[in-house]
Amino acid sequence: MFKRHALFIVIGSCAIALAACGGGESANVEVTEEMTAALADTSYSSRGDATAGEAVFQSQCSSCHYATEEVLIGPGMAGVFQPGGPTLPEGVDYGGTLHNGNLISEENVANWIREGGQGEIGVMSAIPLEDQEMADLMAYLRTLEK
């Protein structure tokens, strides 16, 4: 009986925690010329294949990110390369930049993926992708629009 009760408590707590994280909004930011130029960076995606990138996303990213506007553990990745960036959890606002204040560009996103680190949302594990895998991933992320 105790095990069943404990299980319900754990499941209920997880459901509440996930509900609190979901439903984030895109940042309403004033887009600067610098942001627009950074978003136009196709240094990776121009060499990539979006279909192969979807496979990279599914194997390396989907345990923490959805390819939609829905928040899982990390941001919903739809619109990552659009003004305002990806959909962040409620209460988190990076002002249209990455967690560290860097502009959202393919180069900066690739560095964040490869290096990982601590953001306001939590810890992003480093993912050591090969150059072609990163190019493919960036090409796929470019297809995710809000």
Question: pLDDT of the chain along its 146 residues, tens only?
Answer: 544 444 333 333 333 333 333 444 445 678 899 999 999 999 999 999 999 999 999 999 999 999 999 999 999 999 999 999 999 999 999 999 999 999 999 999 999 999 999 989 999 999 999 999 999 999 999 999 99
The domain covering 2-142 belongs, at the CATH homologous superfamily level, to Cytochrome c-like domain (1.10.760.10)
Cα–Cα distance between 104 and 115 in angstroms, integer?
A: 15
Q: How far apart are the first and last CA of the chain?
A: 47
Residue 128: both structure tokens together: 């050591």
Q: Which residues contact 23 (CB under 8 A, 6 or more apart)?
A: 71, 90
pTM of the model: 0.79
Give me the residue spans of the domains in the chain: 2-142
